[in-house]
Structure 1
Amino acid sequence: MASHVSDQASIRYASSVVASQSTMSNVRHSLLTQKPHITITLKGEREGQKPPYAFSTRDKIEGEVTIVPQHDVRFDDIFITFEGVVRVWTENTGPSMATARSEVRRMFLKMTQPIDESSLPVPRIALKGMQYTFPFSFIVPDQLLDSHCGHILQNDVVRQAHLQLPPTMGTGKAVNHDGSLELDDVTPDMAKIRYGIKVRITRKREVDNKQVIIVEEQRNIHVTPAYAEAPPPMDDNTFVFKKQKEIRKGIFKGKLGRLIVQADPPRPMEAKSHDGAHRASTTVSLNLTFIPADDSAEPPKLGSVTTKLKYRTFYSTKSINVIPQRKSHLSDPYMGQYQETITLSSRALNGIRWRRRRPADAEHDSTYGSRRGSDVSDSASTSSFSTAADGPLTYHTEILVPASQPENKALPPTFQSCHVGRQYELDISLSVEAGSRLNTSFNLKLPLQVTAVGRHNLAAEMEAEELPAFEEFFRPRSIAPPPQSQSRRHSRLPSFADSMLEEPAQLPAHMLSNSANMAPPPGYGLPGGGRMLNMT
């Protein structure tokens, strides 16, 4: 009997729990459905036009906000803003093996759209079923305000970099408003940069007069600002522009010669922010020099060349005061680094023609990066190789290696902001078939810069804006003395009579009517007679 009563109590308790959960779900659904419905539409979308993939510097972002209340809503203000936000988090493991997570969220850009007061209802009550439309128009600025970056920096170069707008990053494979997928920009979850149009409807709470948000809605906007080519980064022995090795004929055979592989820094990849289908590309020139051990030695056979692109992202929960390098995160506990390498291409080198030349000394080439980052497998000098009366015999060839943006991957420009930065590296591996099982490879690591351009030619527009002031500064000005007649006129001090006879229009009308009867002050005389001033 007791067990039967206990079972019934359990059933009633379970039923009450289910009923309370259902009630809470209904209340939550009711609250959500009662909120005003907000739609953010970009210009041209209602006519079936597709918005641009990304907005760039000085692009105009236009559209309208439509608000349809589900019931009568009392409000005080409506805010339409264009915002940029960065969010970074890191996890640090302390001596006690406890993991501490630090996070920062910072709004670096906020532009507010003024709203015409006459378009708001009076009193401030949005009626159920009514449609309220508010237009907006924003222009992507050239740079951020100076107040955005107020922390201590290493130099002005870092400050100028921090005042540039950072590009959208960390969207992953997010779905766009039109249903298309965002390209993966190879950014970790620890770093995100977002732009968006945000709408907030607020009301002051009667209890404490505090502004509370009734409802808010945001539409993400992809922004890729224009970035011009910048000076090359400082080298912390990360980059390798030149490598040289001795090539042997076989395992137990003598030396074939020395092969030197050298590359110049490649031109930047230029991305087009307004064209999502555009693939940025560049070309690397490999200069090969072979110094044979004797005149009978032929250059080795080249195997293949493989190109890889390395994405490197720096992020920190504290403001970064330098341009980070590859090992910067090792000395900063608040900084993290994420890198990912993607193979671009691999092709066999067939039909490479060598040019025979004498004399030459590629060992002392003075081009950029000839010594820095070189890797010599044997310290023997070139004097051990073949020499003749007119100098050593050398072979030369050049290989052009193309590099293009990976498919289905975004390529944000190279930048550095207060909390997030992006750098790129191009790794080139050249294999050489020296002999049976004696293949060797030459690995070069080159800095690669990615720039971005938009619809506007910023250089031409800035020149047009500065040209009037420039021309005004250099406009010819007359510094000659006044004309001779004017000089004679002012050869003596003007008198009261001169002002009356020569410039009567300077006097008011009521004084001009009596000018003939006006007598000069004592001590002065009129022309043609009268008493003159006694100077004795």
Structure 2
Amino acid sequence: MHSIGNQIGSKVRNLAQMGRPAVEIELRDPHGAHGSYVTSYSTMDRLEGTVSITADRDTRFEDIEIAFIGVSKTYVDRLTSTPSLSGRTEATHRFLKLTQPIDQSSLPQPRIAVAGKTYKFPFTFVIPRHLLPRACVHKTASDHVRETHLQLPPSLGDPELAGHGGTLLDDLAPEMSRITYGVKVRITQLRDTDGLTVILQDKMKKVRVKPAFEEQPPVNVDAKDETYRLRQEKTIRKGMFKGKMGSLVMECMQPKALCIPGARSSSSGPITTMAKVQLRFDPSDDSSLPPRLGSLVTKMKVATYFSSSPRHNFPNRNTMTYDLTQGYYSEMVPLSTLCVGSAQWEKHSSEASPALARRDSGISDCSSTTSSATPYASKTYSGKTFYTANIIVPITLPSTKNFVPTFHSCLISRVYLLSLNLSVHAPGVGDPSLQLRVPVQISAKGSESGEANFLASRIESLALEDADAMWQPRSVAPPRQEFARAEAPRGGDAPPEYAFFAPGPLR
């Protein structure tokens, strides 16, 4: 039954295309090869190819448009207790459109495509570095938010395009969010009955875009934001009825961004960075020693925010309860499990480190919390000795997934979070654990050809600026009196001559 349905659907599509010109879009591979796999394009890359149009019978047309477009589509299912508020909201945002000029002399006169004749039109597009301001016209909370919305987002959510080269990989995006790029050809015709313009043929060939993304400053973590946790304290007990051993503090700085290689890069090495976990143990008395550490489990949380209305600010899960137009989807990707039982503890005295007293909570912020070489004291610290230890955690992205850079657009955002779970072997009941949730960014390099094109265009623009400056009008009139050079006064106030500084004879 399934094959019969496919045959019927194919016949219906063929009947619908009868009398319409056939359109073929052929892309020229940047390396000069022609393959069936999807080629990735990056910032400032040239996207070149040819559009071939063939009609099976004489067909009159009005215009032919060849454009490179970028579109994001989202939908959000609202499930509420009130039936009138439930339902689905959808949004479509065409944030990019580059139109290829067509030489009018290459079009047939009159505008009739002769049956059996193939008309070819070459096209060349350059992947832009930024979007035009008209791509984001809604209100934003700050200029920084608008600037991020005007960055070119990567291809996302299309299973036909996810991956590298001929390998298709999951980009961890839900079906509710999709960003698509492609070369689109549209042929229009004027209808004789009412003179309205109708679409005679509309075809699009998708391409994968992997723009370059520079590493951004560390995320400013609000103390009220429950999404992240850069520091945690936990009380370690000697036993069920034996009192406390002390307090264990765990902190982690935001690691350096993971950098994805550029499009069509031959580099196949791992994508890595390092995270530094800082530990501090404040004993309840001098006889208490630091607990024995167990394992450190590292995972990557991949979060995708999508909405059916433009975002005024960066997405936040705390606001989703009151915003029915915003959706959220996340997946946890395991990274590594390290045995940290051999971590070396270093003993300190309060006299040797007077600056490590506990801060007032009113002045606590993200920067001061994570930039200190030693974690600040716990709430129970009494000014005695304490112990510290550092753990360097390698972070490597698995090659079985397609990770896209961290980005924020008008409708879709992608962010990453590093989960660090430390287990402790304590003599008390059960083994306590501490967990941190640290923001981490993913950046991306540009392609070699794109960087070369950008450098060439930059040199050309500087040369044009110099040429324009040569033709700017200049004033050749005598200077005004206040700008005229004054005569140096004679006497002791006169500036010394060069001879004054010449070395004199040896005495």
Determine the C-alpha separation between the residues in 2 that align with 1:179 and 1:125.
40
Determine the C-alpha separation between the residues in 1 that align with 2:109 and 2:467.
53
Residue 258 of structure 1, aligned match among 242, 247, 250: 247
Whichever residue aligns with residue 256 of structure 1, its letter is M
Partner of 2:117: 130
Which runs of 5 or more structure 1 residues have no equivalent in the other structure?
1-21, 488-536
Partner of 2:381: 382
The C-alpha deviation readout for 1:471-512, integer Å capped at 9, x for no partner, is 999xxx999979xxxx9xxxxxxxxxxxxxxxxxxxxxxxxx
Residues 47 and 67 (structure 1 numbering): CA distance in 2 closer, same or farther, change over 3 Å?
Answer: farther
Q: 1:340 Cα deviation (Å)?
A: 1.9
Name which structure has the greater RCO, CA cutoff 8 Å, separation 6+. Answer: 2
Partner of 2:404: 412
Q: 1:321 Cα deviation (Å)?
A: 0.9
Q: 1:27 Cα deviation (Å)?
A: 7.0
Partner of 1:521: none
Residues 195 and 299 (structure 1 numbering): CA distance in 2 closer, same or farther, change over 3 Å?
Answer: same
Is the Cα–Cα contact under 8 Å of residues 233 and 247 in structure 2 kept in the other structure? yes
Residue 283 of structure 2, aligned match among 258, 275, 292: 292
- Please state whether the residue corresponding to 1:327 is helix, strand or coil: helix
Determine the C-alpha separation between the residues in 2 that align with 1:198 and 1:287.
53
Is the Cα–Cα contact under 8 Å of residues 271 and 278 in structure 1 kept in the other structure? no
Instruction: Summarize the alignment of residues 352-431 of structure 1 with structure 2, pairs less than 5 Å apart.
Output: 352-358=343-349, 359-360=352-353, 362=356, 364=358, 368=366, 381-383=380-382, 392-431=384-423
Instruction: Summarize the alignment of residues 4-403 of structure 1 with structure 2, pairs less than 5 Å apart.
Output: 29-32=14-17, 35-44=20-29, 48-49=33-34, 53-98=39-84, 99-171=86-158, 173-174=159-160, 180-231=166-217, 232-235=219-222, 236-238=224-226, 239-275=228-264, 279-358=270-349, 359-360=352-353, 362=356, 364=358, 368=366, 381-383=380-382, 392-403=384-395
Q: 1:256 Cα deviation (Å)?
A: 2.7
Residues 293 and 183 (structure 1 numbering): CA distance in 2 closer, same or farther, change over 3 Å?
Answer: same
Determine the C-alpha separation between the residues in 2 that align with 1:340 and 1:300.
32
Determine the C-alpha separation between the residues in 1 that align with 2:185 and 2:333.
39
Determine the C-alpha separation between the residues in 2 that align with 1:303 and 1:439.
9
Residues 191 and 54 (structure 1 numbering): CA distance in 2 closer, same or farther, change over 3 Å?
Answer: same
What percent of counterpart residues are identical? 35
Residues 472 and 108 (structure 1 numbering): CA distance in 2 closer, same or farther, change over 3 Å?
Answer: closer
**Which stretches of structure 1, 4 residues or more, deviate above 4 A after TM superposition?**
22-28, 49-53, 175-179, 275-279, 365-372, 456-473, 477-482
The C-alpha deviation readout for 1:293-352, integer Å capped at 9, x for no partner, is 444433221111111111222222111111121222212121122222222111222432
Is the Cα–Cα contact under 8 Å of residues 264 and 369 in structure 1 kept in the other structure? no
Is the Cα–Cα contact under 8 Å of residues 38 and 166 in structure 2 kept in the other structure? no
The C-alpha deviation readout for 1:207-257, integer Å capped at 9, x for no partner, is 122222222221111112222223324524232111122322333334333
Whichever residue aligns with residue 410 of structure 2, its letter is C
Which runs of 5 or more structure 2 residues have no equivalent in the other structure?
1-6, 485-507
| TM-score, length-scaled by structure 1 | 0.74
Partner of 2:498: none
Whichever residue aligns with residue 41 of structure 1, its letter is E
Is the Cα–Cα contact under 8 Å of residues 272 and 278 in structure 1 kept in the other structure? no
Q: 1:433 Cα deviation (Å)?
A: 0.8
Of stretches 91-100 and 45-54 in structure 1, the one that deviates more from structure 2 is 45-54
Residues 323 and 461 (structure 1 numbering): CA distance in 2 closer, same or farther, change over 3 Å?
Answer: farther
Of stretches 448-457 and 37-46 in structure 1, the one that deviates more from structure 2 is 37-46
Whichever residue aligns with residue 237 of structure 1, its letter is D
| TM-score, length-scaled by structure 2 | 0.77
Number of residue pairs aligned between Structure 1 and Structure 2: 447
Determine the C-alpha separation between the residues in 2 that align with 1:43 and 1:453.
22
